[in-house]
């Protein structure tokens, strides 16, 4: 760039221009030239700095690609084993016997011989209703029975004598026949008296209320001293049989064929009772019966399972999960469910190859239980499949396997 020289200017220029105006124009041109020169130098410096920094960054990326040997994943080994076929259904604990203890006669409740929550046995005396009115009635009709029985005995003796006299033609025939009718009448009277005696004897027995079954007594409904009527609402208490106890659960109708076939051959099927959260096993039992028809409103059929309940882990009306063991498949290929993926062509897994790459393998699965599933085709025993880190994989991807992540299927 050529420098702009300073020249002396006269005070006035030709054409009438002032010398100061000319000097201002020259100074402006000089400033513009300097500004363009500084801008070019600044641009050159930035370009050099950018090119200098680009080479180290490119080298770091190349180093990263060299160090990254593969995608870290967890794997599991396909193994051969047995797979139980278990159906898990929601059920309710229902007592085999649940009895409301009722009084059959009326009167004042004079004794209550049980405590709430007590375990009682069949035949134990629970309460007593005042038996004296019924005992008095029993004595009255017992006496009437004795009197009528004596008349019957006398009439029978007379009848025997009349029949002998009739054979000798020593008595009128009508008299002998009347005596026979009298005997029959008295026999009817004695039989009626006997019925009354038996009735009041039974009433006296009913005044002593006993446990119809063994079980636990619930909350008392009536206190001692109350006048109770026969079969009053609520009874005296509720007696629940705790051992054994049953669980009623429903089965979908599409599973009925498999279960019904097994029940006909095996007669009973093992079942486990788990708590409502399905995390804790409570006790073991067996399926005892299958309902006679399907509920059309729900498409399910009911089953009853019996449990000894020796420790009383099951409580009436408790919600539980029933795990019914229907069958066991032997010598099948087992894989973790976390290895099974879904794609447009069906289920598939990533199989680890000897060169530490993965291959996509289509598989078919069977029944599953927990975190294990049966593989019916597509895999072989001892092959390794990826169980975690799958979202970063593709066919042929390089993987690394930490030693602690390898596990059985």
User: Which of 239, 263, 289 is the endpoint of a domain?
Assistant: 239
- Going by the DSSP 8-state scheme, the letter that residue 228 receives in this structure is E
Higher pLDDT, 384 or 231: 384
Mean pLDDT, range 367-389, rounded to an integer = 92
Do residues 399 and 375 share a domain?
Answer: yes
CATH of the domain at 112: 2.40.50.100
Cα separation, 139 vs 161, in Å, equals 34
Cα 242 versus chain centre, distance: 20
pLDDT in the model for residue 39 = 52
Residue 367: per-residue pLDDT: 87
- What is the pLDDT at residue 63? 41
Residue 228 backbone phi and psi in degrees, to 5: -110, 150
For residue 341, tell me if it sits in a domain. Answer: yes
* 5: in domain: no
Tell whether 370 and 305 lie within a shared domain. Answer: no
Reported residue count of the chain is 409
Residue 293 CA to residue 21 CA, distance in Å, equals 117
Same domain for 104 and 226: yes
pLDDT tens string 185-236: 999 999 999 999 999 999 999 999 999 999 999 999 999 999 999 888 889 9
User: Could you tell me if residue 117 is inside a domain?
Assistant: yes
Question: Could you give the CA distance from residue 111 to residue 126 in angstroms, rounded to a whole number?
Answer: 8
CB neighbourhood size of 3 (10 A): 7
What average pLDDT does this structure show over 372-396? 92
Distance of CA 90 to the CA centre of its chain: 3
The beta strands (E) that lie in 118-229 are given as 119-120, 125-129, 208-210, 215-217, 227-228
Domain total of the chain: 4
pLDDT tens for 120-173 read: 999 999 999 999 999 999 999 999 999 999 999 999 999 999 888 988 888 888
Domain check: are 264 and 395 in the same one?
no
What is the percent of the chain with per-residue pLDDT over 70, rounded to a whole number?
A: 82
115 with 215, same domain? yes
Contact (CB, 8 A) for 163 and 176: yes
Average pLDDT, the chain: 84
H or E element in which residue 107 lies: strand 107-112
CA-CA distance, 372 to 339, in Å (whole number)? 10
**Residue 194 DSSP class:** H
Chosen domain end from 188, 210, 239: 239
Is residue 377 a part of any domain in this protein?
yes
Q: What is the pLDDT of residue 66?
A: 42
Please, which pLDDT band fits residue 330 given cuts at 50, 70 and 90?
Answer: very high
Could you tell me if residue 4 is inside a domain? no
Q: Would you state the pLDDT for residue 22?
A: 41
CA dihedral (281, 321, 333, 355) positive or negative = negative
Tell me: do 112 and 230 sit in the same domain.
yes
- Provide the CA 15 distance to its chain's centre, in angstroms: 112
On whether residue 216 sits in a domain, the answer given is yes
- Boundary of a domain, candidates 239, 255, 282: 239
1-53 confidence digits (pLDDT tens): 444 444 444 444 444 444 444 445 445 555 554 555 445 455 554 454 444 44
Give the domain extent around 388. 72-83+331-408
Indicate whether 260 belongs to any domain.
yes
Neighbouring CB atoms inside 10 A of 101's CB total 22
Residue 369: per-residue pLDDT: 84
Confidence of residue 295 (pLDDT cuts 50, 70, 90): very high
DSSP class of residue 91 equals E
CA distance 363 to 378: 4
302 with 358, same domain: the answer is no
Same domain, 266 and 381: no
Q: Are residues 141 and 218 in the same domain?
A: yes
Q: How confident is the model at residue 62 (pLDDT cuts 50, 70, 90)?
A: very low
- At 320, which CATH number? 2.40.30.170
Give the distance, in angstroms, between the CA of residue 237 and the centroid of all CA atoms in the same chain. 30
- 399: closest CA among 338, 331, 353, 342? 353
d(CA 152, CA 106): 35
Q: Is the peptide bond before 254 cis (omega within 30 degrees of 0)?
A: no
Residue 1 falls inside a structural domain: no
Judge contact between 348 and 341, C-beta under 8 A: yes
Indicate if 195 and 290 belong to the same structural domain. no
Whether residues 180 and 116 fall in one domain? yes
Percent of the chain with pLDDT over 90: 67
> What is the reported pLDDT for 268?
86
In this structure, are residues 385 and 339 in contact, taking their beta carbons and an 8 Å threshold? yes
Predicted local distance difference test score (pLDDT) of residue 407:
57
Separation between Cα atoms, residue 229 and residue 106, nearest integer Å: 4
Instruction: Specify whether 255 is located in the same domain as 186.
Output: no
pLDDT on residue 320 = 97
Burial (CB count within 10 angstroms: exposed 0-12, middle 13-18, buried 19+), residue 287: buried
CATH classification at residue 399:
2.40.420.20
Q: What is the pLDDT of residues 69-116, one digit of tens each?
A: 689 999 999 999 999 989 999 999 999 999 999 999 999 999 999 999
State mean pLDDT over 48-63.
43
Residue 322 has phi, psi (to 5 degrees) of -95, 120
* Statement: residue 56 has pLDDT above 80: no
């Amino acid at each position: 760039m050529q420098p702009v020289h300073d020249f002396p200017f006269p005070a006035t220029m030709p054409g009438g221009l002032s010398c100061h105006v000319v000097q201002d124009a020259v100074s402006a041109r000089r400033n513009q030239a300097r500004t363009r020169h500084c801008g070019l130098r600044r641009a050159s410096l930035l370009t050099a700095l950018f090119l200098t920094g680009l080479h180290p960054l490119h080298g770091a990326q190349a180093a990263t690609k060299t160090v990254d040997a593969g995608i870290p994943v967890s794997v599991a080994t396909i193994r051969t084993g047995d797979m139980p076929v278990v159906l898990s259904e929601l059920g309710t604990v229902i007592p085999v016997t649940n009895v409301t203890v009722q009084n059959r006669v009326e009167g004042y409740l004079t004794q209550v011989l049980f405590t709430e929550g007590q375990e009682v046995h069949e035949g134990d005396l629970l309460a007593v209703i005042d038996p004296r009115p019924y005992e008095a009635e029993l004595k009255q009709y017992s006496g009437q029975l004795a009197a009528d029985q004596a008349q019957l005995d006398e009439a029978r003796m007379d009848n025997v004598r009349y029949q002998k006299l009739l054979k000798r033609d020593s008595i009128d025939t009508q008299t002998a026949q009347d005596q026979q009718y009298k005997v029959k009448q008295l026999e009817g009277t004695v039989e009626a008296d006997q019925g009354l005696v038996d009735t009041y004897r039974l009433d006296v027995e009913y005044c002593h209320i006993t446990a119809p079954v063994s079980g636990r007594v619930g909350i008392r409904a009536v206190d001692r001293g109350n006048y109770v009527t026969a079969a009053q609402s609520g009874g005296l208490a509720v007696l629940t049989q705790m051992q054994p106890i049953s669980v009623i659960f429903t089965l979908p109708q599409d599973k009925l064929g498999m279960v019904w076939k097994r029940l006909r051959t095996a007669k009973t099927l093992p079942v486990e009772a788990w708590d409502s959260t399905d995390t804790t096993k409570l006790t073991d039992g067996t399926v005892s019966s299958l309902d006679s028809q399907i509920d059309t409103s729900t498409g399910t059929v009911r089953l009853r399972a019996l449990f000894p309940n020796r420790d009383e882990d099951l409580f009436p009306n408790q919600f539980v999960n029933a795990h019914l063991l229907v069958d066991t498949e032997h010598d099948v290929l087992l894989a973790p469910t976390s290895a099974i993926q879904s794609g447009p062509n069906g289920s598939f897994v990533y199989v680890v190859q000897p060169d530490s790459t993965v291959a996509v393998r289509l598989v078919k699965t069977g029944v599953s239980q927990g975190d294990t599933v049966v593989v019916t085709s597509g895999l072989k025993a001892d092959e390794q499949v990826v169980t975690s880190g799958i979202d970063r994989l593709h066919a042929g991807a390089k993987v690394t396997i930490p030693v602690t992540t390898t596990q059985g299927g």
